[in-house]
């Protein structure tokens, strides 16, 4: 008898090889559920305050700012205003430490650990190629800021809405554990964050799909329903290392079939999801932690990787190289 986990029958972390949990270990005190509902506006503001502070005496951390705000408002961002983060930043700039500011906030540590798992790869030092002003070639520039990319390549249109948790019925009734980005078949899909490919191939629910684990192992990115006949960049395989912004595959509508290379999805789209992994025992089980990435996709809408098609291989490749200076680039 073959046992199939909830993961293997959902449009999510499908077919990824997992390290077995050590059953002799005492159960760890782990975060087991994360309701990530930080709006795009708060993400942008916190990141902006972080970036601006880097050349000042007090350097702010956008994850600490967001965790402090969530602890203050009880994770209710419905009435969020930028001034709320400004007020937290002002207190830190006046000399208070984050420990002092949050000492009486019961759930700050939880939000900080949860948000760090979601966002720790998003901001930092990186180098990227840019075109020379005279139009003769490219040069490398170093920056501090957002170092992840939209899953949809530059100059390719898409639409989406917040569909996390919506009902899906193929095979069995289940919640939708990602964000569907509707676009044209063949649209280049890029790696949001760099990492190692852990899953690649066919699954009846996700069709042609690819799964990438972040270098710090906390995030598993899932890209599904890729194009029939030509789903992936040809030089990729399980174990390949990809950088943030690299082309990994192409948008399609494959899936909902036990037979490979079948299009049974009515609307062409990318299913994009993120699973948090605080411990290997949380992989391929009934209690996986999938977060709502809708606001993250909104955040990255203007952070697109420019690509160009190779006339010989028919593959798309990024135009401008990228190096993550945290030491994780290929």
DSSP 198-219: EEEEEETTTEEEEEEEETTSSE
Q: Which residues make Cβ contacts (< 8 Å) with residue 37, sequence separation at least 6?
A: 75, 77, 292, 295
Q: How far apart are CA 214 and CA 193, in angstroms?
A: 7
Q: Which CATH architecture has domain 149-319?
A: Distorted Sandwich (2.70)
Q: For the chain, give every domain's residue range.
A: 40-119, 149-319
> Could you give the 3-state DSSP secondary structure of residue 237?
coil
CB 220 within 8 A of CB 212: yes
Q: What average pLDDT is seen over the chain?
A: 90
Which tokens belong to 196? 């190692």
pLDDT value at 19 more than 70: no
Give phi and psi for 74, each to the nearest 5.
65, 30
> Could you give the 3-state DSSP secondary structure of residue 288?
coil
Query: Which residue bears the tokens 């945290």?
Result: 326
Q: What is the pLDDT of residues 94-139, one digit of tens each?
A: 999 999 999 999 999 999 999 999 999 999 999 999 999 988 899 9
CB 126 within 8 A of CB 120: no
Torsion angle defined by CA atoms of residues 312, 317, 323 and 329, in that order, rounded to the nearest 10 degrees: -80
pLDDT value at 169 more than 80: no
Provide mean pLDDT across the span 155-164.
96
Chain centre distance of CA 284 = 18
Per-residue pLDDT at 286: 78
Which tokens belong to 44? 């942008």
Q: What is the pLDDT of residues 54-78, one digit of tens each?
A: 999 999 999 999 999 999 999 999 9
Provide mean pLDDT across the span 36-42.
98
pLDDT value at 240 more than 70: yes
> Could you give the 3-state DSSP secondary structure of residue 97?
coil
Provide mean pLDDT across the span 14-19.
34
pLDDT confidence of 326, banded at 50, 70, 90? confident
Per-residue pLDDT at 329: 53
Query: What distances in angstroms separate CA 259 from CA 104, 186, 205, 254, 256, one per listed residue?
Result: 56, 21, 11, 10, 9
Per-residue pLDDT at 27: 55
Q: How far apart are CA 41 and CA 127, in angstroms?
A: 26
Provide mean pLDDT across the span 79-106.
97
pLDDT value at 83 more than 60: yes
Q: What is the pLDDT of residues 187-235, one digit of tens each?
A: 999 999 999 999 999 999 999 999 999 999 999 999 999 999 999 999 9
């Amino acid at each position: 008898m073959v046992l199939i986990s909830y993961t293997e029958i959902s449009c999510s972390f499908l077919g990824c090889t997992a390290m077995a949990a050590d059953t002799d270990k005492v159960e760890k005190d782990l975060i087991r559920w994360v309701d990530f509902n930080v709006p795009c506006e708060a993400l942008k503001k916190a990141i902006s305050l972080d970036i601006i502070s880097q050349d000042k005496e007090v350097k702010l951390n956008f994850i600490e700012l967001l965790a402090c705000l969530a602890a203050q408002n009880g994770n209710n961002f419905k009435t969020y205003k930028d001034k709320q983060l400004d007020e937290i930043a002002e207190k830190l700039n006046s000399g208070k430490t984050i420990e002092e500011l949050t000492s009486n906030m019961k759930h700050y540590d939880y939000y900080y650990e949860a948000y760090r798992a979601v966002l720790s790869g998003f901001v930092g030092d990186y180098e990227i190629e840019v075109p020379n002003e005279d139009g003769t070639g490219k040069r490398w520039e170093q920056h501090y800021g957002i170092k992840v990319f939209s899953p949809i390549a530059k100059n390719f249109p898409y639409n989406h809405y917040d569909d996390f948790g919506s009902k899906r019925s193929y095979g069995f009734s289940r919640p939708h554990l990602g964000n569907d980005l509707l676009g044209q078949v063949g649209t280049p899909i890029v790696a949001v964050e760099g990492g190692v490919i852990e899953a690649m191939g066919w699954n009846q629910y996700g069709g042609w799909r690819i799964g990438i684990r972040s270098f710090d192992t906390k995030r598993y990115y899932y890209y599904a329903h890729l194009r029939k006949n030509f789903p992936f960049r040809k030089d990729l395989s399980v174990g390949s290392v990809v950088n943030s912004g690299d082309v990994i595959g192409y948008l399609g509508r494959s899936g909902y079939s036990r037979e490979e290379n079948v299009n049974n999805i009515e609307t062409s789209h990318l299913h994009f999801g993120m699973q948090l992994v605080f411990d290997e025992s949380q992989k391929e089980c009934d209690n996986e932690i999938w977060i709502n990435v809708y606001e993250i996709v909104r955040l990255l809408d203007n952070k697109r990787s420019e690509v160009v098609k190779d006339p010989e291989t028919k593959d798309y490749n990024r135009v401008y190289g990228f190096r993550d200076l945290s030491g994780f680039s290929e």
